[in-house]
């Protein structure tokens, strides 16, 4: 039974969203990979995988620890008026 759970959690983790066309996702475990030039959003798919498969331990760690936030685009610089 443990082998089946391990295989299932590996398959689920393989289905996690790990990157977008703007770059790699990051989470609390690898927050140093975050780029200041990109905007990020929480990956709903990875949160759902983490919640559904919380008993497998591996899937939530992979989905939420390393891939919680994914880039959605480049930040736009806005000019601030001089005061």
Question: What pLDDT score was predicted for residue 8?
Answer: 65
pLDDT along the chain (83 residues), means of 10: 69 68 87 88 86 81 85 78 59
Residue 79 in any domain: the answer is no
Contacts of 48-53 with CB under 8 Å at 24 or more apart are: 49/12, 49/13, 49/15, 49/16, 53/8, 53/9, 53/12
- What SS3 class is residue 38? strand
Range of the domain at 53: 2-9+18-74
Quick one: tokens of 12?
């689920």
Question: What pLDDT score was predicted for residue 14?
Answer: 62
Global pTM exceeds 0.85: no
* H or E segment and range at residue 12: helix 2-14
Residue 81 in any domain: the answer is no
Residue 83 in any domain: the answer is no
Tally of structural domains, the chain: 1
């Amino acid at each position: 039974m443990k082998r089946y759970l391990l295989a299932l959690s590996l398959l689920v983790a393989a289905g996690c969203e790990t990157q977008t066309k703007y770059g790699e996702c990051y989470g609390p475990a690898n927050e140093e990979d975050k780029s200041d030039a990109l905007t990020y959003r929480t990956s709903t798919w990875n949160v759902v995988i983490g919640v559904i498969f919380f008993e497998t331990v591996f899937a939530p760690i992979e989905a939420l620890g390393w891939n919680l936030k994914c880039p959605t685009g480049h930040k736009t610089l806005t000019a601030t008026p001089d005061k």
